Amino acid sequence: MVQGKFIVVEGIEGAGKSSAISVIENFLQQRDVAFEKTREPGGTVIAEKLRALVKEPSDEQVTPECELLLMYASRSQLLHNKIKPALDSGKYVIGDRHDLSSRAYQGGGREFNDDTINTIADITLKGFKPDLTLYLDIEPELGLARAQARGELDRIEQEKIDFFHRVRNKYLSLATLDDSIFIVDASQTMEQVHRDIQNILGEQLSG
């Protein structure tokens, strides 16, 4: 049986990940490719409970270390119980975030060093990585304005703007080091963003 592929959409709040995922869905449907969708943190019963701990505002402060470990605990549950079985069955998986998010948010935003994150990732992911990642790049001010317009912000979305500039800078620096990560200018019109995504999918998944 042919192994499926794991396609991930990344970006800060308001970058348009949901819209991009719809483009990927349509692309695969038009080609009769079976797929599943996931989100991080979350995606399984246990992982969704961990998501609530990470995302929901709380009277108790969530330490950066706790946040980092919860992210990878949730990712481990999702990877081993949903992503890998789907790929092994020949399905594609569309991921709303994956490991790159932790490297950007906890590595860039929270300023954990690469060695710390690499150690945790090696334990939980064991070298697993997406086949293709689309990083939707946008200025934090614009992205957060979009996010705020759609409703109440979660705990992480309420961070100061400097946090999100660090996140974006880390995303960009990592994207330049990995040929499987493609940067899409998310400040363009929706039509232009969708066209860019379709072009990347056509080039990278033509086989």
pLDDT of residue 207: 58
Per the CATH hierarchy, to which homologous superfamily does domain 6-204 belong? P-loop containing nucleotide triphosphate hydrolases (3.40.50.300)
What confidence tens digit (pLDDT) does each residue in 14-26 have? Answer: 999 999 999 999 9
User: Using CA atoms, how far apart are residues 116 and 137, in angstroms rounded to an integer?
Assistant: 25
H helix intervals, the chain = 17-30, 45-55, 64-78, 84-88, 99-102, 114-125, 140-149, 161-175, 190-204
Domain boundaries, the chain: 6-204
User: Using CA atoms, how far apart are residues 24 and 156, in angstroms rounded to an integer?
Assistant: 26
Average the pLDDT over 15-42 and give the result: 97
Give this prediction's pTM: 0.95
15 with 136: CB under 8 angstroms?
A: yes
What confidence tens digit (pLDDT) does each residue in 69-126 have? Answer: 999 999 999 999 999 999 999 999 999 999 999 999 999 999 999 999 999 999 999 9
φ, ψ of residue 103 to 5 degrees: the values are: -70, -30
Residue 39 bridge partners (DSSP): 96
